[in-house]
Amino acid sequence: MANIKTKNEDMEKLIERFLKYVKIETTSDEANDKVYPSTPSQMEFQKMLAEELKEIGLEEVDLDDNGYLMATLPSNIDKDVPTIGFVSHVDTSPDFTAKNVNPQIVKYTGKSIELNKKEKLYLSANEFPALARYLNQEIICTDGKTLLGADDKAGVAEIVTAMEMLIKNPEIKHGKIRIGFTPDEEVGRGADKFDVKKFGADFAYTLDGGPVGELEFENFNAASAKITIQGLNVHPGTAKNRMKNSMRIGMELNTMLPTNERPEYTDGYEGFYHLIDFTGSVDYTKMAYIIRDHDKDKFVQKKEMMIKVVDHLNLKYGSGTVKLILVDQYYNMREKIEPVMHIVELAKKAMEAVDVIPDIKPIRGGTDGSRLSYMGLPCPNIFAGGHNFHSRYEYVPIKSMEKSVEVILKIAELNAM
């Protein structure tokens, strides 16, 4: 086997790419669900990326009208092995602004990192204990005014860099590799228009995980619950036995759901109900929840609980007062990965070979990989290296990004043996 280690020039190119990518704003838009991608900036980013893939020597570079970019690295061996795919998404979360990202590289010495002196914003191990793991390492963070975009431009930069290294180092043997960059993952539509048949991989990995070592093949079952409440607004002086305050009904609905099944009280395999929006008046209120659980039966029970609560309130306040639209979003990929667990073992073996300790655990969230697995492309998730996604405190250690590249290279090499 080749001695797979990133060289200084590879590292410099990796970081150069990442810093370039995060400065380009590609926020997705949940409300714009009739257009793919949901924002023009994502398509512009993909066009730029397509040209870069051609420049480094990838083949079959294809950007479709929906903003999905695919490319091929041909095999350099004379035997048939499975075709591997590597997938990342190019959009950033609408949860926090990604306009005018100003990344900075800082060596963590154990002291709090000053993100923004004027705003008195600091990245501290007291508040974010994981930071202590990276003592004396260089990390990339922001100036505290925006998110960073390591979710998932770290993954994009790592995949592109790994492909360039494989092209420049033909002594590293590998089969056919397909790469794919998707839009709109952050708003739950990253796999909507993904053409699995055209992609043509036997299995794939999303590079969309967090800290170094993460390896995941389980994720939440997920549903969204959109609720509208029609109240009755009359003058408060004559309201007795007449007024129906839709906001109070919404508050009552929320208290009827289990308090200990909220995100702030759950961890590991525990699911939750998460109230993500509440807007209204006496007359009319809108609420939105996301419902999550790793266990399929408990997931069903949570949805049934939501239905029962709504039915109870309609019985109490009148038929049609509360309306519920409950939609399944994605499912736990474990069901589709377990029959092909060798692909998890391949990633695990690759990590160990490059001195990364695998951290196999469930994803407390979703990933393109979960939906792709149900579309016929088994797709576990491996780390891209970032922390504190979707926030001004997001950061990624440079060493973690380097290790991600090494894992990609080793997966490709081991698959060719």
- Are the beta carbons of 42 and 92 closer than 8 angstroms? no
Tens-level pLDDT at each residue, the chain (417 residues): 566 666 789 999 999 999 999 999 999 998 998 999 999 999 999 999 999 999 999 999 999 999 999 999 999 999 999 999 999 999 999 999 999 999 999 999 999 999 999 999 999 999 999 999 999 999 999 999 999 999 999 999 999 999 999 999 999 999 999 999 999 999 989 999 999 999 999 999 999 989 999 999 999 999 999 999 999 999 999 999 999 999 999 999 999 999 999 999 999 999 999 999 999 999 999 999 999 999 999 999 999 999 999 999 999 999 999 999 999 999 999 999 999 999 999 999 999 999 999 999 998 887 889 999 999 999 999 999 999 999 999 999 999 999 999 999 999 999 999
- Residue holding tokens 């990995």? 205
Active site residue 91: yes
Q: Which one of 10, 25, 91, 214 is the catalytic residue?
A: 91
Active site residue 345: no
SS (H, E, C) the chain: CCCCCCCHHHHHHHHHHHHHHHCCCCECCCCCCCCCCCCHHHHHHHHHHHHHHHHHCCEEEEECCCCCEEEEECCCCCCCCCCEEEEEECCECCCCCCCCCCCEEEECCCCCEEEECCCCEEECCCCCHHHHHHCCCEEEECCCCCCCCHHHHHHHHHHHHHHHHHHHCCCCCCCCEEEEEECCHHHCCCCCCCCHHHHCCCEEEEEEECCCCEEECCCCEEEEEEEEEECECCCHHHCCCCCECHHHHHHHHHHHCCHHHCHHHCCCCCCEEEEEEEEECCCEEEEEEEEEECCHHHHHHHHHHHHHHHHHHHHHHCCCCEEEEEEEEECCCHHHHHHHCHHHHHHHHHHHHCCCCCEECCCCCCCHHHHHHHCCCCCCEEECCCECCCCCCCEEEHHHHHHHHHHHHHHHHHHCC
Task: Output the pLDDT for position 366.
Answer: 78
Task: Output the pLDDT for position 209.
Answer: 83
Query: What's the CA gap between 208 and 369, in Å, rounded?
Result: 9
For residue 195, CA distances in Å to 21, 69, 305, 375 come to 25, 11, 36, 9
Task: Output the pLDDT for position 8.
Answer: 85
Q: Which domains are seen in the chain, by residue range?
A: 8-218+332-415 (3.40.630.10), 221-330 (3.30.70.360)
pLDDT digits (tens, 9 = 90+) for 219-255: 999 999 999 999 999 999 999 999 999 999 999 999 9
- Are the beta carbons of 61 and 125 closer than 8 angstroms? no
Nearest to 155 by CA among 18, 259, 297, 11: 18
Sheet containing strand 138-141, edge to edge, reads 104-107, 138-141, 396-397
Q: Which one of 185, 186, 216, 293 is the catalytic residue?
A: 185
Task: Output the pLDDT for position 267.
Answer: 94
pLDDT digits (tens, 9 = 90+) for 74-93: 999 999 999 999 999 999 99
CB atoms within 10 A of CB 326: 16
For residue 412, the number of C-alpha atoms closer than 13 Å in the C-beta half-sphere is: 32
Task: Output the pLDDT for position 1.
Answer: 57
- Are the beta carbons of 29 and 185 closer than 8 angstroms? no
Sheet containing strand 272-280, edge to edge, reads 272-280, 284-293, 221-230, 322-330
For residue 76, CA distances in Å to 5, 166, 383 come to 20, 10, 26
- Are the beta carbons of 99 and 24 closer than 8 angstroms? no
